[in-house]
Amino acid sequence: MNLIKDEEIIRIIEKSSYHYHLNIANRVLRPYILQLYLDDRTWNYIETYTEQLEMYRYKGLKLEDLYRQIAACARFIQTVRNGIHAIKSKVRADVRAPDKTYREMTVNNLPNNLKVFADMLNVLFVILIDYDKKNCGNSAPVFTKLPELDTVSGILTSNG
- Give the tens place of pLDDT for each residue, 137-157: 888 999 999 999 999 999 999
| Domain interval for residue 81 | 7-157
Q: Is the pLDDT of residue 94 over 60?
A: yes
Beta bridge partners of 9: none
pTM of the complete model? 0.91
Q: Is residue 1 part of a domain?
A: no
Residue 4 φ then ψ, to 5°: -80, 130
Q: Is residue 62 part of a domain?
A: yes
Tally of domains within the chain: 1
Residue 4, helix vs strand vs coil: strand
Q: Is residue 2 part of a domain?
A: no
Confidence at residue 95, expressed as pLDDT on a 0 to 100 scale: 67
Which of these, 66, 63, 75, lies nearest to 117 by C-alpha position? 75
